[in-house]
Structure 1
Amino acid sequence: MKKITFLLLTIVSISAFGQDKLTSAIEEYYDGTNWLIQGKTEYTYDTQGNVVTETYYDSNNDVTDTTTYTYNSLNRLIEVESIYGDDSYKSEFIYNSDNLPETIIQYDKENGNWVKDDKIEVVYNGTKIDYYVEYEEWNGEEWYLEDDNSYKAKYIYTNSNFTKIIYYEYHNNIWVEDDKDEYTYDASNKLIKEKWFSKNDDGTYLLGGGIEYSYDSNNNIIEEGFVEYTDEGTINYSDTTTYQYDLNVKMKDIIHPFKDKYGVKIDFETSDFYVNKILLETDGSNRTTYYYNGDTASVEEFNAFAFKIYPNPTSSILNIDDSSFSIKSVEVYNLLGKKIITTTLNEVNIENITNGIYMLRVQDINGNFATKRFVKN
C-alpha cells in the first residue's frame, strides 16, 4: 500500500463562536497495571473554526512537534509548516478553477532556506480525481521524473465511490504498474473493507493486508481491524481499534481538526467516519482520549524520565542518550499503534522501515517509561 505524503485534514467555513471545541488529545499506554501518558496534542483555531496550530508534547511535557496551517479566503488549506526539533518541513497547495488542489509542493528547510523536495500534480475528471503524479526530483530549474523514484496513482470508480487505486512506478522512462489498493462498500456506501496488494515479478498480485470497518446504527465507526494475510491467504487479525462516542452530540456541531480542508477525497482517514462526538479510541495497550473546551490532563500526570535521541530525522541509525539511566527495553511504534521494533540497545536500526513519523518508547531498569517522536526520512 502506498500513501501520498501530504496532509489530508481539512475544514469547512463555520462560525467559531458558541460551539464546543476539541482542544486536546491525550495518548496513553498500559504498562500492565496503569495507564501512563506518552504524549499530548493541543489544538488552536481561527475565528472561522479552522485549526491553525497542532502542538505535540512528549511524556516529559516538552514540545517536540509543532504544525501550523494557513488558509485562503474560501477556507481552503494553502500552506502547512511542521517543525520536528531542529528540522522544518512545508507544503504549499495550489488550486484550480473548481477550487480543488492541483499542485502540492513540499519543501525542506536547509541552512535557513526552503528547498524544494517533492511535487504532486493532481489531474481531475470533473470533480473526481483521475490520477496524481508524485515527482521526487528538482534540479534547481524544473521538476523531472526519476527512474524508480517517481510514482503515479490511478483512481477507478464505481458510481461516486473509488473502488481501486492502481500505483505505477516510473522505470526506464515508462510507467510500470505496481501495487494496488481495493475498496469495498456496503449498500449505504459506507466503506467496509480495504485490501492492499503488492505486485509479484510474474505479474500476479499478492494480498498482503488491509482494514475491515464496523459501524453503529448512527454510522459511527466503532471498530477498525487491521488485517494481515499469509502467503497462503490465511487471515491474521493483527490490530483492532475501537471507538467510543457521545451520541447526544454530532461532530458537525463541534469545532475540530478533522474536517475537510480542500474539498476532495484523496484517501480515507478514520476521522471521516466520526458522526457523533468522539471521546476515546483504544488499540490494545494504547489509547487516545479527546478533550473539549479546555479540559485536559494535568501537567503533573506527565510522569517519566528525560532522555534525548539523535539524529532526528534519520534514515538509518537512531541513537538514544542513556548516559543518565540504564535501558531495560526500547520499542518503536508506527502511528497506527503497531509495535514494529523491539530492542535493548541504545542504537536502533530503522533503515528497513518506511519513511514517516514514529513513536519511540523507552523503559529504564526501574520500570519507568518515556517516549519521543522521531522522523524516518
Structure 2
Amino acid sequence: MKNFTLIIMFLFSTLLVAQNQLLSSIDEYYDTATSQWINSSGNNYVYDSNGNLTSEEFLFWDTSTSLWQQGYQTIYSYNANGLATVVLDQNYNSTTSQYEDSYRITYSYNSSNQLISQVFEEYVGSAWVSRDRFTVTYTNGVLTTAIIEIWNGSQYDLEERFTLSYNGSNITQFLIEDWVGSQWVLSERDLINYNGSNQRTNRIYEEWDGTTWNETDRETYTSDTFGNRISTLSSVIGNPSQDYKIDLNFDISIQLSTLDHPFKDKTGIDFIYDESPFVSKVLTSTESQYDSAAMIFSPNYRTTFNYNSTLSNSDIALETLPFKVYPNPTSEFVFIEGPELIHTVELYDMMGRKVMESTNERISIHHLPSGLYNLMIEDINGLKSDFKIIKN
C-alpha cells in the first residue's frame, strides 16, 4: 500500500510539473475546402531549473507522411542574473543527421544589468563572421537611443538609429533615421497611444517623404481588464484587402508568470518595441484575413499552446525545411524554391516591423538598409517556414 501511494504521488507531481510549463505549440492553417484545421508547423520548448527557456525546436508537418519533421533549433545561454548572453540558431542537416551552427547573437550588459549591445554573427566555413551590431544608450536609466551598425570586413559602419520618446514611463514614439553620407536622415516613425490604464490602444506607422509624414498602416489593440491583449487589428491604408486581425484566448484563472513559458523577457528590452500581450495563461491565437468582397474576417491561421505534452520526437522524420532561400547574404534579390506554390512572403526587421510583403518567388531587397531580417514564407497549403536573411 505504501509503494502504491508513492507511485500515485510521483505521477501526480510529474503531471503538476508538466502543467506548470508551456511545452509545445502547434500552428495550423484553415482549409476552406474541408472546413478543417490542418497541421502546419510546431515548436517544442525546454527550460532549466530556473524556468529559463534553454532550447526551442522548430518542426514542420509533412502532409504526405503525416509526420513532424525537424527544421532548426534555437539554443539560449544565460548569465547568473537570468539574462540571455548567447542565442544560437542551428539548422538541421539531413545528410549528417545533426544540427549545425548557423547564426548567433551575443548580448552584453552594464553593471546595472541593462543591455548595452548585441552582436550578430554568421557561421561560415569553420568560423564566426560578424554581420552587424546593435548598441543601446540610456538616459537616467531609461533607454533613449539604439543604433544598428553593419560590419564591412574591417569596421562597423553606421546604418540606422532609433530614438525613443516618452510620456512618463510610456513610449509614445519610435523615430527611425538612416545614415546617409555623413548625417542622419529621417525615414520612419511609429506613434503609440494609450488608454487611462496605460495599455497601448494603437500604433500608427508613418513614412517621411522629405517634406511631411504619411501614414502607411496602423495596429489597433483591444485588452481585457486583466491586461491581456485579446485582439490586434492591422490595417493597411488604402488597401483593406491586406487587413488582418489576431484574436487571443486566455485562462484568466492562472497568471502566466506562475508558469515556465518562452515569452519571458530575456534581455530586459524584449518588449520595448511591442509590449507583451500576455498576462494570463494563453491558450490559442487565431489570425483572420479580411475578405473585402464578403466584408468579413475569415480565420486562416491559428496557434494552440500545450501545457502537458510535447510534439513527439518518435514521430519526427529527419528532413530539412521544404523551402530553399538563396543567395544569403545578398544585396539585391532573394530567390525562393520549394515544392509548393507560395501564398505570401513577409520580411521583418530586427525590431519586429514588417518591411515587405510579396507573393513572388523572387523579391528585391536592394532598397532596404543592410542588416539582419526574418523571412517568413507561407505556401498555398498554409505551411510556414522561417529564415534569417542578411542584407549586405
Cα offsets for 1:129-159 (capped at 9, x unmatched): 110111112433x4233xxxx0111111101
Which of the numbers 281, 286, 290 marks the counterpart of 1:282? 286
Aligned to 2:245: 240
Aligned to 2:192: 183
CA contact (8 A) 1:362 1:371 kept: no
Partners of 1:299 and 1:341 lie apart in 2 by 36
SS in structure 2 opposite 1:373?
strand
Query: Displacement, 1:125?
Result: 0.7
Cα offsets for 1:170-198 (capped at 9, x unmatched): 11211122211110011110011101111
Aligned pairs for 1:27-176 within 5 A: 27-32=27-32, 33=34, 34-60=36-62, 61-85=68-92, 88-140=102-154, 142-145=155-158, 150-176=159-185
Q: What amino acid does structure 2 have at the position aligned with 1:283?
A: E
SS in structure 2 opposite 1:252?
helix
Which of the numbers 330, 339, 346 marks the counterpart of 1:334? 346
| Runs of at least 5 residues in structure 1 that lack an aligned partner in the other structure | 1-15, 364-368
Query: Displacement, 1:279?
Result: 0.3
Which of the numbers 267, 276, 286 marks the counterpart of 1:262? 267
Q: Structure 1 segments of 4 or more deviating over 6 A? A: 16-19, 234-237, 297-302
Query: Displacement, 1:235?
Result: 7.1
Q: What amino acid does structure 1 have at the position aligned with 2:335?
A: L
Query: Displacement, 1:168?
Result: 1.2
Q: 1:116 to 1:194 in 2, by over 3 A?
A: same
Aligned to 2:201: 192
Greater shift after overlay, 282-291 or 83-92? 83-92
Query: Displacement, 1:217?
Result: 2.2
Query: Displacement, 1:83?
Result: 2.0
Aligned to 1:21: 21
SS in structure 1 opposite 2:257?
helix
Q: What amino acid does structure 2 have at the position aligned with 1:42?
A: N
1:351 aligns with 2:364: yes
Partners of 2:191 and 2:304 lie apart in 1 by 31
Q: What amino acid does structure 2 have at the position aligned with 1:79?
A: V
Query: Displacement, 1:126?
Result: 1.8
Equivalent pairs counted in the alignment come to 336
CA contact (8 A) 1:17 1:47 kept: no
SS in structure 1 opposite 2:187?
strand
1:273 aligns with 2:277: yes
Q: What amino acid does structure 1 have at the position aligned with 2:214?
A: L
Query: Displacement, 1:333?
Result: 4.3
CA contact (8 A) 2:119 2:134 kept: yes
Aligned to 1:320: 337
Partners of 1:333 and 1:298 lie apart in 2 by 29
SS in structure 1 opposite 2:146?
strand
Aligned to 2:234: 226
Q: Which has the higher helix share?
A: 2
| Runs of at least 5 residues in structure 2 that lack an aligned partner in the other structure | 1-15, 63-67, 93-99, 289-299, 349-353
SS in structure 1 opposite 2:22?
strand
Partners of 1:191 and 1:370 lie apart in 2 by 31
Partners of 1:335 and 1:319 lie apart in 2 by 13
CA contact (8 A) 2:327 2:334 kept: no
Q: What amino acid does structure 1 have at the position aligned with 2:226?
A: N
Greater shift after overlay, 157-166 or 18-27? 18-27
Q: What amino acid does structure 1 have at the position aligned with 2:157?
A: Y
TM normalised by structure 2 equals 0.77
Partners of 1:47 and 1:159 lie apart in 2 by 36
Q: What amino acid does structure 2 have at the position aligned with 1:197?
A: E
Query: Displacement, 1:286?
Result: 0.2
CA contact (8 A) 1:129 1:266 kept: no
TM normalised by structure 1 equals 0.80
Query: Displacement, 1:250?
Result: 1.0
Cα offsets for 1:50-89 (capped at 9, x unmatched): 0010100012322112101100000011111112456611
Q: 1:226 to 1:58 in 2, by over 3 A?
A: same
Partners of 1:374 and 1:314 lie apart in 2 by 12
Cα offsets for 1:209-231 (capped at 9, x unmatched): 1211001222211110011113x
CA contact (8 A) 2:376 2:384 kept: no
CA contact (8 A) 1:196 1:208 kept: yes
Q: 1:295 to 1:311 in 2, by over 3 A?
A: same
Partners of 1:236 and 1:373 lie apart in 2 by 24
Q: What amino acid does structure 2 have at the position aligned with 1:252?
A: S
Partners of 1:321 and 1:178 lie apart in 2 by 34
Q: 1:330 to 1:138 in 2, by over 3 A?
A: closer
CA contact (8 A) 1:229 1:236 kept: no
